[in-house]
Chains A and B, each alone.
Chain A
């Protein structure tokens, strides 16, 4: 389909979003990612039944942790899409990139620079 999506999005493959752990998301933020999102299957369409629902809860947990330390919870997000929706995938990549650009660089990196 040769669809374009922003080159700043780095994809990490997992067999199912149910494999994504709270710690994976936090480590990405800790290491300086400006934003992290989980792209799961549509709700109700999980091959393993509830993997994407578990991922959603974990994303919400991380949002709370970020809020607790005074960081924008919008830097982590859960999206759902079908594997057949290439256009939708590219659209979300653009949408999330724009959101992060509006939020600006992660304070984890700017804080480190300030020190």
Chain B
């Protein structure tokens, strides 16, 4: 899933400093699963913002709505009625950064602000802890590395690791960070594929990655 975390509330307060009435929108997709932008987090942020503004003596009115997904036009359409019938100063989105962009595209005349920082594509390690697993390079080759991704999980995205900074299974950048190449070594060893690790992996073609420009996927059979 896409993992995101809420921006510091101080930053959000600055964004809404001049507003008296805003629509705060959540998303029931990835950000609900990673507990950063679902219905519950929308309620908590709305309450915190209201407390802050009451304290300053200038109350802010916040309507809350959590959409099925903010990355699908059909759900973003559901904001039409509330936006049309209320004089909102702005729409705040608690989706990954796709959400606010969809809202801005659909509702051209209203200010849109992101309340989350989209951090990575990853998964949960345990309840309350998430980590990065994929960098969306667009041409998956993890089967060559014991089904572990060196591009997303090696600090230097090495194709021929582990480098000289690998110590005790940890990366030189932090004792908190596993050396993915150490994990690759252990797994290849268990699978009896260590000989594969002896082969030089040549240059990666990055055209399928962000480096090839913004990407698009088309399924002709589904397209209307």
Mark A residues whose CB is within 8 Å of B. 22-23, 26-27, 29-30, 65-66, 68-71, 107-109, 111-115
Contacts and interface: CB of A to CB of B under 8 A. Distances in A.
Interface of A is mostly: helix
A23 B43 contact: yes
Contact of A23 (B9, B40, B55, B58): B40
22 contacts: A22-B44, A26-B44, A26-B47, A26-B48, A26-B51, A27-B47, A30-B51, A65-B9, A68-B48, A69-B10, A69-B13, A69-B48, A70-B55, A71-B51, A71-B52, A107-B55, A108-B54, A111-B55, A112-B54, A112-B57, A112-B59, A115-B57
Q: Which DSSP category, helix, strand, loop or mixed, fits chain B's interface? A: helix
Interface of B: 8-10, 13, 40, 43-44, 47-52, 54-59
Contacts of A68: 8-10, 48
Contacts, number: 55
Contact of A30 (B9, B40, B50): B50
A101 B98 CA distance: 47
Contacts of A109: 54
10 tightest A-B CB contacts, nearest first: A69-B52, A115-B57, A68-B9, A111-B57, A26-B47, A114-B57, A107-B55, A108-B54, A111-B55, A30-B51
A70 B13 CA distance: 11
Nearest to B53: A111
A69 B13 CA distance: 8
Contacts of B56: 111
